[in-house]
């Protein structure tokens, strides 16, 4: 599975502890003061609390107790002097950490996901489909492999011929020549009993060389109908090879085009919306005014899920595209999707809920949505 890069950030307010359980490996690369300062001169520090690693002692009693923690200061920022600080801290998957600001100003911690899995719950009961049905990695068709192996065996079947000694070849040619009774013109006057031609060893060798020609040209005089028939078979096999090779090239080209179609790059609009086509659909493309049906998973940038409609018996979200029935990031981000396609949307606050606090969504939140377009009407 290829590594996916996505932005991660968390807002740490004074007096409030920001707890985090990493759902994927996260790299924290910078700490910066908020654009709006509550105190123009006071220093604010970021405090990190994490579980202290312990060795396991088998002799100790197995009693449940809270694991010990350790606290440290990541950085200290002062308005007008040091307003941001570079960091290089990796939070591993499933690690539990806690951030706290000691001071009066809000501090943002930012970085990126090192790996970013796409986790979709199963939805076997919903006939409209489910995000879990998506295959994000290319799979090899077993039927195609069998066909390839069959083609290889067919191609190799006429590569090898039975090897005979010179004496055996001469004897075989002499026997064929005797049975066909086709004397060479130069030796027409030399015949044995019953008019059957008798050839010397030298003459047999010359005849053998002519019959063994495999360069595609006509066999010189003296060749038998059997040899001519053999050449016709060879030409037919060559045509069959060319046809199979052409068929394989077409399949390879089609596979490459399909793989390229599935891949997408993370693009950003002037308004700050980031989009990536995880899978391109095969149906018609959505445009403003269309009634679309969507399944989605909404997450914060730290990976925590705040909303979804992919559980069993949940109905897809239906809305009229471009009519303001959903947030601006959706009205812009769903345009151009094809039926059956899947797209990642990273929506900044100005295209989401802005400074308004929603149920379970803090103000000024950057949101991530994994969307699948089920139908267009």
Same domain as 297, residue 185:
no
> For this structure, is 306 an active site residue?
yes
Same domain as 135, residue 276:
yes
CA–CA gap between residue 11 and residue 22 (Å, rounded): 15
As a whole number, mean pLDDT of residues 245-263 equals 64
pLDDT in tens, 314-362: 999 999 999 999 999 999 999 999 999 999 999 999 999 998 888 889 9
Give residue 68's pLDDT band: very low, low, confident or very high (50, 70, 90). Answer: confident
Q: Over 70: is that where the pLDDT of 369 sits?
A: yes
Q: Which residue has the higher pLDDT, 114 or 156?
A: 114
Containing 156, the helix (H) or strand (E) segment is helix 142-156
Residue-number span of the structural domain to which 166 is assigned: 144-259
218 located within any domain: yes
226, 259, 292 — which closes off a domain?
Answer: 259
Same domain as 20, residue 78:
yes
Distance of CA 87 to the CA centre of its chain: 31
Give residue 248's pLDDT band: very low, low, confident or very high (50, 70, 90). Answer: confident
As a whole number, mean pLDDT of residues 241-247 equals 83
Q: Which of 294, 296, 346, 376 is catalytic?
A: 296
321 located within any domain: yes
> For this structure, is 99 an active site residue?
no
Same domain as 269, residue 131:
yes
**From 7-16, 138-147, 293-302, 334-343, the region with the lowest mean pLDDT:** 138-147
Q: What is the CATH number of the domain that holds 23?
A: 2.60.120.340
68 located within any domain: yes
pLDDT for position 72: 94
Same domain as 250, residue 268:
no
Q: Which of 99, 120, 300, 353 is catalytic?
A: 353
Same domain as 180, residue 94:
no
pLDDT for position 292: 95
112 located within any domain: yes
Give residue 1's pLDDT band: very low, low, confident or very high (50, 70, 90). Answer: very low
Q: What is the CATH number of the domain that holds 375?
A: 3.10.50.40
Q: Which residue has the higher pLDDT, 57 or 68?
A: 68
pTM exceeds 0.75, yes or no: no
Helix (H, G, I), strand (E, B) or coil at 376: strand
Same domain as 126, residue 188:
no
β-partners of residue 18 are 99
58 located within any domain: no
> For this structure, is 302 an active site residue?
no
Q: Which of 108, 290, 307, 319 is catalytic?
A: 307
CA–CA gap between residue 105 and residue 107 (Å, rounded): 6
Same domain as 125, residue 172:
no
Q: What share of the chain is helix, strand, coil (3-state, %, to 5)?
A: 25, 30, 45
Same domain as 90, residue 16:
yes
59 located within any domain: no
Same domain as 323, residue 240:
no
Q: Over 90: is that where the pLDDT of 364 sits?
A: yes
DSSP character for 66? P
Count how many domains the chain has: 3
Q: Which of 50, 151, 290, 327 is catalytic?
A: 327
> For this structure, is 376 an active site residue?
no
> For this structure, is 327 an active site residue?
yes
Containing 26, the helix (H) or strand (E) segment is strand 26-33
Helix (H, G, I), strand (E, B) or coil at 307: strand
Same domain as 217, residue 83:
no
CA–CA gap between residue 311 and residue 293 (Å, rounded): 15
> For this structure, is 307 an active site residue?
yes
């Amino acid at each position: 599975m290829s590594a996916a890069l996505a932005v991660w950030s968390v807002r740490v307010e004074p007096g409030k502890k920001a707890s985090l359980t990493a759902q994927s490996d996260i790299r924290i690369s910078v700490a910066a003061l908020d654009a709006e300062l509550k105190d123009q001169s006071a220093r604010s520090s970021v405090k990190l609390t994490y579980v202290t690693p312990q060795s396991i002692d088998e002799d100790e009693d197995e009693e449940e107790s809270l694991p010990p923690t350790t606290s440290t200061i990541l950085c200290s920022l002062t308005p007008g002097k040091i307003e941001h600080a570079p960091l290089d801290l990796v939070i591993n998957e499933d690690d539990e950490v806690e951030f706290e600001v000691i001071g009066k100003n809000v501090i943002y911690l930012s970085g990126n996901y090192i790996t970013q899995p796409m986790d979709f719950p199963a939805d076997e009961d919903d006939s409209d489909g489910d995000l879990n049905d998506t295959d994000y990695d290319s799979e090899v068709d077993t039927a195609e492999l069998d066909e390839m192996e069959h083609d290889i065996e067919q191609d190799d079947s006429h590569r090898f011929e039975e090897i005979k000694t010179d004496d055996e070849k001469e004897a075989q040619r002499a026997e064929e020549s005797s049975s066909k009774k086709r004397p060479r013109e130069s030796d027409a006057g030399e015949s044995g009993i019953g008019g059957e031609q008798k050839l010397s060893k030298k003459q047999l060798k010359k005849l053998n060389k002519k019959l063994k020609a495999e360069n595609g040209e006509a066999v010189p005089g003296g060749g038998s109908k059997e040899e001519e028939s053999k050449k016709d078979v060879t030409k037919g096999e060559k045509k069959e090879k060319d046809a199979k090779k052409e068929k394989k090239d077409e399949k390879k080209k089609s596979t490459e085009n399909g793989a390229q179609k599935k891949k997408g790059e993370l693009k950003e609009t002037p308004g700050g919306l980031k989009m990536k086509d995880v899978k391109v659909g095969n149906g018609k493309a959505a445009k403003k005014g269309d009634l679309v049906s969507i399944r989605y998973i909404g997450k914060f940038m730290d990976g925590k899920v705040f909303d979804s409609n992919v559980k069993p018996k949940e109905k897809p979200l239906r809305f009229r595209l471009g009519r303001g029935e959903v947030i601006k990031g959706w009205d812009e981000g769903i345009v151009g999707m094809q039926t059956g396609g899947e797209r990642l949307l990273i929506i900044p606050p100005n295209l989401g809920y802005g400074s308004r606090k929603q149920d379970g969504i803090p103000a000024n939140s950057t949101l991530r949505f994994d969307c699948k377009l089920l139908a267009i009407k």
